Structure 1
């Protein structure tokens, strides 16, 4: 869960984040969604935020299934909603080539999948893609790094700067630091942007 004091830092840092107006976004998405109210049958019914995110997950899953077929790869797809984004996970026997070094291929596939969702909905997506549990494992590692940085900041009373990270990684650290009761901010320029944990 994200705490209010650090939301601006985390969201500004998460460069793939769409404008944070969930209600407006849901309303706009409802109007732009395929099969909308053109016939007037569903006049006042607009999809809820969760329904909209589930629809994004379905579109993404269809796109990824086609991609796996083209690449002749076996993979199972799992669709979920976490917070304010859809999450699609692909698991299979050996999908490491779809992750790449430090998740570089995974990042590219995520952007392509978001474009596929945008093409169908007309709305920018914050969908998160995970392959073979790479992001889940990385999240656990980053939460440990954040906990160590929080402990160091409390002990020394000084700022603690971490290594350069991707927007996804920085967001995980921001959330973990906030959950521990401290604040954090991002500094530097992509691709060398990094998190600084501030003492209490």
Structure 2
């Protein structure tokens, strides 16, 4: 775990205790939730490192705990074709790898994980694209007054779009099942 991630995790887990005189005694105490997320990150990183070794792909693994979630990033200093293959077309391989990593954490901890895996900044880039999709849909709804159905996307991506649509003052709802689950944006 990077020093920054550890420092961030500790900063969220400071407990203030006041003695009889009212003087604050502030000491870093890891909560069980933060500790669990750090353990989840370590297990995920070990699993992913082993997979990278088996596939003979170079990449550095960064772990960050924020907003009650573990974020794992695999990055390479140079453009590595092997890492790009782990993203796949439209992030399909990345989604599958994230699910396998969550299963590895579940197997080790007997607790479901909500960790998010990113490779070479794909999710960050995709978030910008999803913001644009939400803005375009919102503009269309405001102009025509008619609901707009978006293409199917993963639960993680739908969450990003739902948040963006809400920030734009409109309503969004997920419809459909399985791989066909998509968002419909409307004015009400």
Give the TM bin, normalised by the shorter chain.
0.7 to 0.9
Distance in 1, matches of 2:87 and 2:100, equals 14
- Per the alignment, residue 134 of structure 2 pairs with 146
- The TM-score with structure 1 as length reference comes to 0.72
2:3 alignment counterpart: none
Matches within 5 A, 1:161-180: 161-180=149-168
**Alignment partners' CA distance in 2, 1:140 and 1:88:** 19
CA distance in 1, matches of 2:114, 2:166: 21
- TM-score, with structure 2 as normaliser: 0.77
- Pick from 12, 25, 31 the counterpart of residue 47 of structure 1: 31
Write the distance in 2 (CA, Å) between the matches of 1:53 and 1:46: 11
Q: How many residues align?
A: 156
1:104 is aligned to 2:92? yes
The aligned counterpart of 2:12 is none
Please list every run of 5 or more consecutive structure 2 residues that lacks an aligned counterpart in the other structure.
Answer: 1-28
Distance 1:67 1:91, change over 3 A: same
* Structure 1 spans left out of the alignment, 5+ residues: 1-44
Cα distance per residue 1:36-93 (max 9 Å; x no partner): xxxxxxxxx9834333222211211111111111111110111112323211010123
Matched, 1:182 2:166: no
Q: Distance in 1 between matches of 2:33 and 2:163?
A: 22
Q: What is the RMSD computed on CA atoms of the aligned residues?
A: 1.7
Q: Report what 1:56 is aligned to.
A: 40
Task: Give distance in 1, aligned partners of 2:187 and 2:62.
Answer: 39
Q: For the pair shown, which has the larger CA radius of gyration, 1 or 2?
A: 2
Render the CA deviation track for 1:121-140: whole Å, top value 9, x for unaligned.
Answer: 11000111111111111111
| Residue matched to 1:69 | 53
- Identify which of 52, 71, 84 aligns with 1:87: 71
**Change in CA separation of 1:179 and 1:49 when aligned onto 2, cut-off 3 Å:** farther
Determine the C-alpha separation between the residues in 1 that align with 2:138 and 2:67.
Answer: 24
**Which structure has greater strand proportion?**
2
CA deviation profile, 1:115-154 (whole Å, cap 9, x unmatched): 1111121100011111111111111100111011112222
Residue of 150, 158, 167 corresponding to 2:146: 158
